[in-house]
């Protein structure tokens, strides 16, 4: 456990719970969790921050995935195929992440944050469609291959390298490529995200870049948030969480921008 104050630990745990909740409903929990870790652990190497982030996130993502699979129409076989490619991609991304510094990471996160915020603002219906609003066009073999190779491999690599916004990017890509409604896409994305987190975590653990004690404490809060968020997405939709996500994104952009300016 790094030398941090009780206040910092409490704030990190609350961020983990909120990240799990947001990630389960609309994806993008890493947009809150990773910056929170960067801010709370300013003297910890970026590789250890990234590794700890994965150790926390995989617990909440797994809990959300189990909740979705029990109650949502998910093609588990397809999700696993995309997930296995994503696992390989995330291990490759995590391998290259070892040499990244916090100074490089902050502007990359800011770009990802602004990109997601712009998309959500320009698409008011994003995250608000009800389950069952799926495109009726057939999903061709070419689209399945595209989902496995580009969605799984490409976004998996990004998740291992940086991570923030992976859940949101997966939801968007799966909706576009496989014609899924947003609830089903969120459920499928959780299964894929478990695989990406597992691949990246395995590489970070092999490199000794995980703060296991801190991750264990934060993971309990992330799990509770993830399961609660999955239930909310299934029962109430995600319009409210969309507003929360935008609020969090702009707050974090402002904070990271200030830190980058004063660095």
Using one digit for the tens of pLDDT, what is the confidence trace for 65-98?
898 888 877 778 888 888 899 889 888 888 887 6
- Average pLDDT on 242-261 reads 72
pTM of the prediction?
A: 0.74
pLDDT the model gives residue 45: 87
Q: In sequence order, what DSSP letters do the residues of the chain get, joined into one string? A: --S--HHHHHHHHHHHHHHHHHHHHHS-THHHHHHHHHHH-TTS-HHHHHHHHHHHHHHHHHHHHHHHHHHS---HHHHHHHHHHHHHHHHHHHHHHTT--HHHHHHHHHHHHHHHHHHHHH-TTTTTPPTT----S---HHHHHHIIIIIIIIHHHHHHHT-TTHHHHHHHHHHHHH---HHHHHHHHHHHHHHHHHHHHHHHHHTT---HHHHHHHHHHHHHHHHHHHHHHHHH-SHHHHHHHHHHHHHHHHHHHHHHHH-
pLDDT of 146 above 60: yes
The answer to whether residues 249 and 113 touch, using CB atoms and an 8 Å cutoff, is yes
- Average pLDDT on 193-217 reads 90
- Average pLDDT on 19-42 reads 83
Tell me the pLDDT band of 238, cut-offs 50, 70 and 90.
low
Distances, alpha carbon 26 to alpha carbons 22, 124, 128, 202, 212, in Å: 6, 13, 9, 26, 27
**Which has more pLDDT, 99 or 188?**
188
How far is residue 87's CA from residue 108's CA, in Å, rounded to a whole number? 22
pLDDT the model gives residue 203: 86
pLDDT of 132 above 80: no
pLDDT the model gives residue 131: 46
The mean pLDDT of the chain is 81
pLDDT the model gives residue 133: 47
């Amino acid at each position: 456990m790094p030398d941090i104050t009780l206040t910092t630990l409490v704030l990190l745990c609350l961020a983990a719970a909120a990240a799990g909740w947001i990630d389960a409903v609309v994806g993008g929990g890493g947009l809150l969790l990773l910056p929170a870790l960067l801010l709370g652990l300013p003297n910890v190497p970026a590789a250890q921050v990234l590794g700890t982030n994965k150790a926390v996130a995989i617990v909440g993502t797994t809990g959300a995935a189990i909740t979705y699979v029990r109650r949502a129409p998910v093609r588990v076989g397809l999700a696993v195929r995309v997930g296995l490619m994503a696992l390989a991609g995330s291990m490759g991304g995590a391998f290259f992440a070892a040499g990244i510094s916090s100074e490089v990471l902050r502007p990359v996160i800011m770009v990802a944050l602004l990109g997601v915020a712009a998309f959500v603002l320009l698409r008011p219906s994003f995250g608000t469609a009800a389950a069952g609003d799926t495109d009726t066009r057939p999903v061709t073999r070419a689209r399945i291959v595209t989902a496995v190779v580009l969605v799984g491999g490409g976004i998996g690599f990004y998740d291992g390298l940086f991570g923030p916004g992976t859940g949101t990017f997966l939801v968007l890509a799966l909706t576009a490529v496989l014609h899924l409604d947003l609830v089903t896409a969120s459920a499928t994305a959780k299964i894929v995200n478990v695989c990406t987190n597992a691949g990246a975590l395995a590489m970070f653990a092999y490199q000794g870049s995980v703060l296991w004690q801190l991750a264990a404490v934060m993971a309990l809060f992330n799990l509770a948030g993830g399961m609660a968020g999955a239930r909310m997405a299934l029962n109430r939709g995600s319009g409210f969480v969309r507003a929360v996500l935008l609020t969090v994104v702009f707050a974090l952009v402002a904070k990271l921008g200030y830190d980058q300016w004063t660095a």
